[in-house]
Chains A and B, each alone.
Chain A
Amino acid sequence: MSDLAIHVTDLTRTFGSFTAVDHITFDVKPGEVFGFLGANGAGKTTAIRMLIGLLQPSSGSARVAGYDVARDTEQVKRSIGYMSQRFSLYEDLTPRENIRLYGGIYGLTREQIRQRTAEMLERLGFSSIADTAVRSLPLGWRQKLAFSVALVHRPRIVFLDEPTSGVDPITRRQFWELIYDAASRGTTVLVTTHYMDEAEYCDRVSIMVAGRIAAMGTPAALKSEFGVESIDELFVRLARPEAGGAGKAGQVGQAGRAGGG
């Protein structure tokens, strides 16, 4: 139990009469790249918000980096990195300033910040634009920078919420190389995405439909279990049957198609 990066048991969250996350249970091992898939409204974002300490669970439990998200939220926050959909960078600050800001917030010393800034800028190839305001940078570069900033304090786990939205396939590939790089150094990565081809890049994936986990496993295992050629196909198949049944999931069928093929 204690060597699991993320351990979720019957995690539930309701908003009034609506159940956004319905008793989900799953584990993520250290160093794993775990894909958290699901259509809009399936409950992915709510689940993530509970895991990163932004939302209290209604019931059930989750342990992230060994800490209980409900009771030890502070420790959880210190142990994780997070890259939100809107990238969390300050547009009027430069990359260097953004790194220094988040480094400071996460308790790094000045020396550590200086060191890691140099490292980061070199690895990303950002030395030439280190002092340009982020708003002048192209989207793909911002995403890579945001990812690195999320890792500035070398957290054991990093949560990425749709990190490659709106970017061309080549840039997405490059981003995934960064993800693999981090994973190879022992960082656990939990990433949500709409792009079903990215699902193939993950060690394991889970597919959420109407608040529940409809399928979970390695991409290969899932494909053979369900007899499909791609995760995209699997996704559509899982989402469709629910379309008539569980209310909110009605939208799921449509959204499933939106993923890349």
Chain B
Amino acid sequence: MTSLRGLLRKEFFHIRRDKRTAAVLIALPIVQVMLFGYAIRTDVDNVRLAVVDPAPDSATISLRDRFAAAHVFRIVAVVPRIQDVDPLFGSGAAQQAVVFYPGFADDLGKGVPAKLLVITDATEPNTGSLLQSYAQSVINQWGGEAGRAAGAGRVSSAGPSGPARIVTEVRMRFNPTRESKNLFVPGLMAFVLTIISSLMTAISLTREKETGTMEALLVSPLRPWEIIVGKVTPYLVIGFISVIAVLVEALLVFRVPLRGSVLLLLFEGALYILVSLSLGILISARTSSQRVAMMFALLGTMLPNILLSGFIFPLESMPAALQVISYVVPGRWFVTIARGIMLKGIGLTYVWRETLILGAMATVLLVASMRSFNERLE
């Protein structure tokens, strides 16, 4: 038994003295609980609502006010024509739109069913359903009170004395069947690219260091940038092929729509690959151990990309702090772009901002990674 005890004690020494493992063991559960606890939220708030009101009257204004008063919603635009919400949906400025028809108040007063159209951006189908039911409950509540008020104010008995009759037409945009695969596939592309570009690059470069061959390369006439390009290009190519493979599979097997430009999508994919590659190089510059490189790559690139890119868990549901952090997660921008291109069919005019951000990230990270690789020579 004493031999076993010695072994156990040794193991405790290992854990205590290996600060990195200890940090992971202690910090990781805490961080994970916090992240997952906050990131996984199925309720939504701060919904961006657009209102289409061609002929504002007392009833429409009253219902609009009710929407505005509901904390869940935030009215971002009031427009006269239904076509005006298209660009709002396209750019993501609006997640939902309530469309009135002329004569809303009249119809209510006459007891004729008044028509309302609720359009919801269903690229994230879970959120879509929620938004739909929120809007519906606001409408129902208002309808109940307004109906009673209308009935109480009527002299003639021709008016209803019960809740106002409102017929709501529901339209789920971009993802009418609300299929979750449409939600996941763009994020999946980012995920696969991160594995290949960040993780494999980091491992490959540190493996070179571990075996000692990196030193031989550095002594040779090869310049540092040549070494990096030589090591990293195969992963660039493989990453590109993977994007295409995932796309083909998504289109053919899962029938995910690709409504926008394939070329634009591939271009954005290439940008994202560059960003991930640079991160992989940066990680490898900081360590000579494959194991550490792998850990950093997993924690620093894959975990944020899964949690904070909007891949699975909608960003709008997260607390502000996490949403701010997500701005520096490259995957977030790529997922937005990819979803936009695939599901909404939008082009560069809508995603130029996100593209610029990705481009800036790629440039900054490439320069930083080259610089830190060169520093190794000192």
State the Cβ distance, B171 to closest chain A Cβ, in Å: 58
State the Cβ distance, A187 to closest chain B Cβ, in Å: 16
B220 on the interface (CB 8 Å rule)?
A: yes
Partner of B213, one of A52, A55, A80, A88: A88
Write out the residue numbers on chain A whose beta carbons fall within 8 Å of the beta carbon of B79: none
Contact (Cβ within 8 A) B221 A55:
no
Q: Which residues in chain A, 76-117, are within 8 Å of chain B measured between CB atoms?
A: 77-78, 80, 82, 84-91, 102, 105-107
A78 and chain B: residue at smallest CB distance:
B221
Write out the residue numbers on chain B whose beta carbons fall within 8 Å of the beta carbon of A55: 377-378
B58 on the interface (CB 8 Å rule)?
A: no
B215 on the interface (CB 8 Å rule)?
A: yes
Write out the residue numbers on chain A whose beta carbons fall within 8 Å of the beta carbon of B377: 54-56
A74 on the interface (CB 8 Å rule)?
A: yes
Task: Report, as a range, how many residues of chain B touch the other chain.
Answer: 10 to 19
Contact (Cβ within 8 A) B212 A54:
no
Describe A's contact surface by its main secondary structure: loop
Write out the residue numbers on chain B whose beta carbons fall within 8 Å of the beta carbon of A105: 217, 220-222
Contact (Cβ within 8 A) A53 B211:
no
Partner of B221, one of A84, A85, A107: A107
Known contacts: A54-B377, A55-B378. The answer to whether A86 contacts B221 by CB under 8 A is: no
Known contacts: A54-B377, A55-B377, A56-B378. The answer to whether A88 contacts B221 by CB under 8 A is: no
State the Cβ distance, B133 to closest chain A Cβ, in Å: 58
Contact (Cβ within 8 A) B378 A74:
no
State the Cβ distance, B184 to closest chain A Cβ, in Å: 36
**Bound CA span A56–B378, Å:** 7
B218 on the interface (CB 8 Å rule)?
A: yes
Partner of B220, one of A85, A86, A106: A106
Write out the residue numbers on chain A whose beta carbons fall within 8 Å of the beta carbon of B241: none
Write out the residue numbers on chain B whose beta carbons fall within 8 Å of the beta carbon of A77: 219-221
Q: Which residues in chain B, 352-378, are within 8 Å of chain A measured between CB atoms?
A: 377-378
> How many positions in chain A have a CB within 8 Å of any CB in the partner chain?
22
B216 on the interface (CB 8 Å rule)?
A: yes
Give 1 or 0 for each of A37-80: 1 = CB within 8 Å of chain B CB: 00000000000000011111000000000000000001001101
Contact (Cβ within 8 A) B211 A86:
yes
**Bound CA span A27–B3, Å:** 58
B219 and chain A: residue at smallest CB distance:
A82
B212 and chain A: residue at smallest CB distance:
A86
Write out the residue numbers on chain B whose beta carbons fall within 8 Å of the beta carbon of A106: 220-221
State the Cβ distance, A24 to closest chain B Cβ, in Å: 20
Contact (Cβ within 8 A) A52 B219:
yes
State the Cβ distance, A60 to closest chain B Cβ, in Å: 17
State the Cβ distance, B212 to closest chain A Cβ, in Å: 3
Known contacts: A54-B377, A55-B377, A56-B378. The answer to whether A84 contacts B212 by CB under 8 A is: yes
State the Cβ distance, B207 to closest chain A Cβ, in Å: 10
State the Cβ distance, A119 to closest chain B Cβ, in Å: 21
Write out the residue numbers on chain A whose beta carbons fall within 8 Å of the beta carbon of B222: 105
Write out the residue numbers on chain A whose beta carbons fall within 8 Å of the beta carbon of B215: 54, 84, 86, 88
Partner of A85, one of B212, B213, B217, B218: B212
**Bound CA span A78–B221, Å:** 5
Write out the residue numbers on chain B whose beta carbons fall within 8 Å of the beta carbon of A88: 212-213, 215-216
State the Cβ distance, A12 to closest chain B Cβ, in Å: 15
**Bound CA span A82–B217, Å:** 10
Write out the residue numbers on chain B whose beta carbons fall within 8 Å of the beta carbon of A90: 211, 213
A79 and chain B: residue at smallest CB distance:
B221
**Bound CA span A82–B218, Å:** 11
**Bound CA span A56–B376, Å:** 12
Some 11 contacts from A to B, beta carbons below 8 A apart, are A55-B377, A82-B219, A85-B212, A86-B212, A86-B215, A88-B216, A90-B211, A102-B216, A105-B220, A106-B220, A107-B221
* Chain B interface (Cβ < 8 Å from any Cβ of A): 211-213, 215-223, 377-378
A-B interface, 7 closest residue pairs, ranked by CB to CB distance from nearest = A86-B212, A88-B216, A82-B219, A78-B221, A77-B221, A105-B220, A52-B219
Q: A77-B220, A105-B217 are in contact. List 13 more A-B contacts (CB 8 A).
A: A53-B219, A54-B215, A54-B219, A55-B377, A74-B223, A82-B216, A86-B215, A88-B213, A88-B215, A91-B211, A102-B220, A105-B220, A106-B220
